[in-house]
């Protein structure tokens, strides 16, 4: 009995040892991870490459952060390892890196590998929205384009015309002369979950049909550049040239249009933003049917509810949008909204943060009446507001002014009168990101009057002054806060510093 037990123990040890050795000799299991190959085969036909020739024949970037070609600086190419030089010579797309390969039949006078990408064209991506030739891409991909060429997966190259462009959402709708095309499937964006797998297909740096994958990092992100878009954030590798391309879920449905990257280098850093497909489709339908896009408008200026403000209003947590100003005669004014009200929900959608309000309002059809749940003097009330149409002059604001970390908006005569700005100048501070302005003490709601001794009366003037500032210098910044002027010291970032 003892011998038998010992034998069993030895056998058990041998069995465990055998299992351990067996596990070490095999590759790690990939169970549970998605397989993308079949998905790529199923959806690639709907993705297109878009190239443009700008009106002035000078390159317009396929993405705002696009860097120059790696060999635009001859010294950079000299420092490349031999294998990289050889790779660029053999595989780089037209116009991107070091000379046509030996024996090439490239016609004389055409863009060659010695010319940096963008000398005559820019590259971007897009996808077929409807099978009768309608293609969606980003507005910035085709901005100022004289000629647009759409290349399909079967290598056909077709001239495209612009049906319409909507810069606030960064969406453009193109039309090519083709039918029975493989259109994408549209996802139900309400079912999109943070953490689920997504896949991007596009032409980063001109490399057609590059596939990258990641997850949904966040939803409803608000950026100063497009305040009417609740962006999807993803860590899928997105680079210049991916702009306008689709972001797919594992069901092969488009959930978003890749639009922007957050990067200090111009390349992928794991933070990319896509326009929700629901926004893109709505914009595309309006551009097709009406040639323009209309958005809802309340006519309020709101600010974030901080923890301290929440406590003062009797809220258990920081939420909602605090009304700082109501535009006279606006829909919110007619509905009875007042400064000091905290908007807790709009059209039955709770407001976790204040910047969630503009996309919700913008998505409402002008003329529709919706409920507004408001906290006023410690009590919750419900107002009915008939949403108006966003005025055209409001579409361009706020505008980001970097590298200061500011978003500013143009002031109307009424704004200046209400704020008691006496000299007719100033721009409103609509938002402050981490950066030099925030360190200097600038706050959202301030009015910027002058910078470095230069009077500021428009976003364009501020941009002009910012571009002339000396990197590393300290300059005076004059703001107006609560009706009183206040000077602050602004440290201009060095040329190589982060924004």
Q: Which residues are catalytic?
A: 140, 170, 243
Q: How far is CA 173 from CA 81, 204, 232, in A?
A: 42, 21, 20
Task: State how far the Cα of 192 lies from the Cα of 187, in Å rounded to an integer.
Answer: 8
Closest CA to 220 of 349, 322, 341: 349
Measure the CA–CA gap between 232 and 196, rounded to whole angstroms: 12
Question: Residue 183 — φ and ψ, nearest 5°?
Answer: -75, 155
- Extract long-range pairs of 382-387: CB within 8 Å, 24+ residues apart: 383/335, 383/336, 383/337, 384/335, 385/298, 385/331, 385/332, 385/334, 385/335, 385/337, 386/331, 386/334, 386/335, 387/296, 387/297, 387/298, 387/331, 387/361
Contacts of 291 (CB under 8 A, 6+ apart): 163, 164
Q: How many angstroms separate the CA atoms of 214 and 237, rounded?
A: 7
Query: Interior CA angle at 435 toward 431 and 440, to 5°?
Result: 85
Start-end of H helices in 166-305: 277-290
Q: What length does the chain have?
A: 499
- Closest-CA residue to 298 (of 359, 395, 392, 388): 388
């Amino acid at each position: 009995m003892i011998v038998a037990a010992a034998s069993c123990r030895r056998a058990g040890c041998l069995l465990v040892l055998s299992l351990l050795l067996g596990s070490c000799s095999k590759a790690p299991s990939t169970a549970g991870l998605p397989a993308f190959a079949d998905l790529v085969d199923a959806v690639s036909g709907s993705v297109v490459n878009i190239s443009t020739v700008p009106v002035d024949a000078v390159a317009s970037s396929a993405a705002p952060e696009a860097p120059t070609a790696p060999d635009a600086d001859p010294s950079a190419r000299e420092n490349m390892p031999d294998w990289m030089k050889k790779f660029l010579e053999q595989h780089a797309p037209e116009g991107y890196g070091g000379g046509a390969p030996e024996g090439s039949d490239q016609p004389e006078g055409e863009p060659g590998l010695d010319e940096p990408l963008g000398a005559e064209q820019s590259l971007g991506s897009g996808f077929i929205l409807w099978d009768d030739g309608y293609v969606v891409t980003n507005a910035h991909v085709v901005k100022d384009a004289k000629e647009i060429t759409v290349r399909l997966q079967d290598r056909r190259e077709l001239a495209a015309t612009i049906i319409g462009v909507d810069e606030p959402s960064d969406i453009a709708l193109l039309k090519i002369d083709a039918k029975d095309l493989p259109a994408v499937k549209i996802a139900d964006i309400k079912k999109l979950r943070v953490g689920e797998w997504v896949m991007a297909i596009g032409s980063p740096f001109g490399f057609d049909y590059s596939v990258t994958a990641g997850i949904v990092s966040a939803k409803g992100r608000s950026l100063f550049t497009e305040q009417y878009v609740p962006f999807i954030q993803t860590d899928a590798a997105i680079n210049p040239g991916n702009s306008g391309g689709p972001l797919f879920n594992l069901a092969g449905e488009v959930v978003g249009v890749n639009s922007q990257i957050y990067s200090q280098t111009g390349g992928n850093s794991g933070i990319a933003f896509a326009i929700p497909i629901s926004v893109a489709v709505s914009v595309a339908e309006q551009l097709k049917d009406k040639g323009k896009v209309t958005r809802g408008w309340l006519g309020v200026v709101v600010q974030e509810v901080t923890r301290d403000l929440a406590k003062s209003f009797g809220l258990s947590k920081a939420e909602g949008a605090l009304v700082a100003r109501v535009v006279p005669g606006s829909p919110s004014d007619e509905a009875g909204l007042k400064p000091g009200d905290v908007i807790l929900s709009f059209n039955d959608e709770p407001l976790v943060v204040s910047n969630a309000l503009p996309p919700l309002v913008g998505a409402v059809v002008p003329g529709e009446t919706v409920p507004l749940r408001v906290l006023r003097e410690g009590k919750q009330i419900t107002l009915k507001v008939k949403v108006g149409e966003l005025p055209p002059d409001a579409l361009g604001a706020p505008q980001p002014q970097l590298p200061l970390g500011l978003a500013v908006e143009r002031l109307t005569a009424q704004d200046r009168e209400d704020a008691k700005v006496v000299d007719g100048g100033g721009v409103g501070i609509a938002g402050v990101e981490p950066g030099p302005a925030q360190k200097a003490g600038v706050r959202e709601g301030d009015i910027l009057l002058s910078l470095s001794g230069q009077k500021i009366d428009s976003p364009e003037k501020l941009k002009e002054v910012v571009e002339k500032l000396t990197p590393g210098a300290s300059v005076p910044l004059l703001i107006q806060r609560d009706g009183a002027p206040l000077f602050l010291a602004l440290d201009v970032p060095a040329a190589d510093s982060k924004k």
